[in-house]
Structure formats: structure tokens, C-alpha cells
Amino acid sequence: MRHEINKETEKELFFHNYARLPLAVTHGEGVYLFSSDGTRYLDMISGIGVNALGYDDKRIVEAITRQAKKIIHASNLFMLEPQFRLAEKLLDISGMSKVFFANSGAEAVEAAIKLSRKWASLSGNNDKREVLSLSNCFHGRTYGAMSLTAKAAYTDGFEPLLPATGSIGFNDIDDLEAKISDTTAAVFIEFVQGEGGVHRISPGFVNSLKRLREKHNFLLVADEIQAGCGRTGKFFSYMHFDLSPDLVCLAKPLGGGLPLSAVIGGEKVMDVFTAGNHGTTFGGNPVACAAGLALIDAIYDDNLMERAAGTGEWIQAALQKLASKHRQILEIRQYGLMIGTTVNREASYYVQEALKKQVLINATSKNVIRLLPPLTTTLEEAQQCIDCLDEIFTEET
């Protein structure tokens, strides 16, 4: 029996995990998605930061097709060329030492938690087990990642959480000083928080973190799952600071739309994992790695980091002009093409109103309109989004 693709049959077929938009998508072209009735929608979400090149990029499609014709899966019992080539690129970009490939951001975080605990167990301090994160963060929905995220909306009913985890107040230097100690194994940080409303870590907090790492010898783990691959104007968001993490978690756009993530480690952790400590059946899939190679080449060939910075600044300036006209806008935060606009009501209202005007935006942290457009977005396409928001704010008043 074939079901109609609509909200009613979604309730019949699926666990109720998602608050899906009432939109049946059939295909995408450039920065646009098309619905089953042929309507075209400007996508300023890009698969929640996944589709960095938009849709139907020929380089990604050709890389996937070429590799799929050779071999789709062989497992990590074998050495696969696309894995080797992608690992080389990531190590060259980061200046780090080793790579582990997985399938999703949450899996990358889980691997980094395990590696941190294993590294700490080799330190000689049996009490060095605590893994900390920052308030208002988001690291994923598997148990370890959820324990670091530690928001009631994600954790209620799923307790007990992973032991020896805790939270430091975001940009709270006093709290950082109070909670870091010789029992700290690792601190996980999004240098730009995405789900938390697009907030950047402060330089003062980073400086204190660097000093405390020297004193207490813990691992600094950069969660670049949403902010990585050029979105903030540099390949990794931590590169905006004078700081080198010990581990980097990367995902979302890395596979060009296919499931792929990576944990990249520096010299401090390069020999911690041994055979059998951790693994994955599908991680580092050759087709996904081939797509990842094409993605990274495109980012550099098309100067997309520079474009992200320039287009993001243009959008911020346009939003500031809207803020001078519309009292609903309270604050604008922009880091490349990660843009958060705080408004004076639940942002889900604007998501629904923009959908009626064939523009896709996102709401996060209750009252933040989040834009994560493809890095390929033109100023004309960005203007279409600005015009849409202007109309909604005007109609609302």
C-alpha cells in the first residue's frame, strides 16, 4: 500500500520525532527546493547547514557517481583511496595528526568523548574523568552527546545521563575558573553556538581556557559540526582565535550531503586509540569521502570562505536596516553565513509566514531566526530573503 506524502500519513508511518514543515520536497536546484506541486522555495537553511554548495552541484554529483561505479562499500577492514585522500586534505588544512571517520556529528562527539577518557586514563590520574561543555550548547542526541548538551528539552525522561559530565556557563570566566581542575579530562566547545542561537565565544574566555589548559592538562575539543567547512569565513571557526584544539569534530557539510563526519586529533592524542578501541561499519564510506573531497576542492576553488564572509556581512547590514524599521528585531549576530536574529516573539511564527512566501528559514533557541544559507548564495538571492522578512515584519504591525 502506497501512502500519500502528507502530514496525516507521516503520523501514521513514523515515530513522532520531528515537527516537519507541511512540504513534500521532490528536488533541488542551486539554492532552491521544489515541492511536489512544482512550487519553488528559496532555501536559507541548506539542510540545517549541510548543503554548503546548494543542490545539484555537478562536482558533487559526478564525484558520487564515479565512486559509486567503482565500489559503494567495503568496510574498514580494507584501505580505501577516498578515505586516504580526504584524511590528507583535512590534516593539511588543520595542521593536525590523525583522523577517524564516522557518519554523523553525534558519532564524532561520542568518539571524541571516548578518546578523551582513554587519554585521561593514561595520564596516571585515576580521578581525571570529567568531561565538560558550555551552557546553551548542542552536541547531539546520542547518550554521551546528550549528556554534554544537558538541556531539559533533550534530556527529560532519558536519565540517568553519562556520569562525570558537567556544564560551564557560556562566556562565564568565573565559572570556568571554578569548575576546571586536575580532574578535568576534556572541555567541549562550539566556538560559534548554532542551536544555541548563533553566539560566539569571547576572546577573554578563550584566553582563560588556554591558561587553564596549561595548568591542568586537559583536552580542548572543538565542535565544528555546524560552524566548520568554511561557514564562518574560515575553514574552522576556531581559526578566528589564537588557539589550537586537541580534537576537532566535523560533520554536516563534510560529505556533500551524504552521511560523513570526522574526528581530527593533534599530537597529544595521536597514539591513544589502539586497534579495537573504537570503530564503525559505515564511517568513512568511500562514496561519502569522494563527495567530501569534491566539496573541499569547491570551497577553495570558488573562494567560498571569502564569499561566506562577504555575503554574511551584506546580510547583516541589510538586517540592521530592517531593525531600524521594525521593533520586532532585538539583536543581530553574524559570523560568515551563520546568522541569528533575536526577535520579540517565538521565531517559529516567522518560519511559518516565510513558508507562505516560498522562503525557508529556521527558528532556534525559541526566539531566534537562524539563517544557514548555502555558501554559494548570491546577493540577489539574499535580497529575496531580506524582502520576505521585511514584508512579514510590516504585515505583522
pTM: 0.96
pLDDT classification of 2: cutoffs 50, 70, 90: confident
What digits encode the pLDDT tens for the residues 215-274? 999 999 999 999 999 999 999 999 999 999 999 999 999 999 999 999 999 999 999 999
Is 80 exceeded by the pLDDT of residue 71? yes
User: Is 390 one of the annotated binding-site residues?
Assistant: no
User: Is 106 one of the annotated binding-site residues?
Assistant: yes
Question: In this predicted structure, what is the pLDDT of residue 309?
Answer: 98
Domain boundaries, the chain: 7-56+303-396, 71-301
Q: Who contacts 51 (Cβ-Cβ below 8 Å, separation ≥6)?
A: 28, 43, 253, 257, 374
Mean pLDDT of 36-58: 97
Taking the C-alpha atoms of 311, 317, 229 and 287 in order, what is their torsion angle to the nearest 10 degrees?
-50
Q: What is the CATH number of domain 7-56+303-396?
A: 3.90.1150.10
What digits encode the pLDDT tens for the residues 370-384? 999 999 999 999 999
Mean pLDDT of 62-90: 97
CA distance 101 to 83: 8
Question: In this predicted structure, what is the pLDDT of residue 151?
Answer: 86
Question: In this predicted structure, what is the pLDDT of residue 150?
Answer: 76
Does this chain's domain 7-56+303-396 share its CATH topology with 71-301? no
User: Is 226 one of the annotated binding-site residues?
Assistant: yes
User: Is 191 one of the annotated binding-site residues?
Assistant: no
User: Is 173 one of the annotated binding-site residues?
Assistant: no
CA distance 359 to 26: 16
Give the CATH class of 71-301.
alpha beta
User: Is 105 one of the annotated binding-site residues?
Assistant: yes
User: Is 265 one of the annotated binding-site residues?
Assistant: no
**At 244, phi and psi to the nearest 5?**
-120, 115
What digits encode the pLDDT tens for the residues 102-123? 999 999 999 999 999 999 999 8
User: Mean pLDDT score of the chain, rounded to an integer?
Assistant: 96
pLDDT classification of 1: cutoffs 50, 70, 90: low
User: Is 387 one of the annotated binding-site residues?
Assistant: no
Give the Cβ contact number of residue 66 at 10 Å: 12
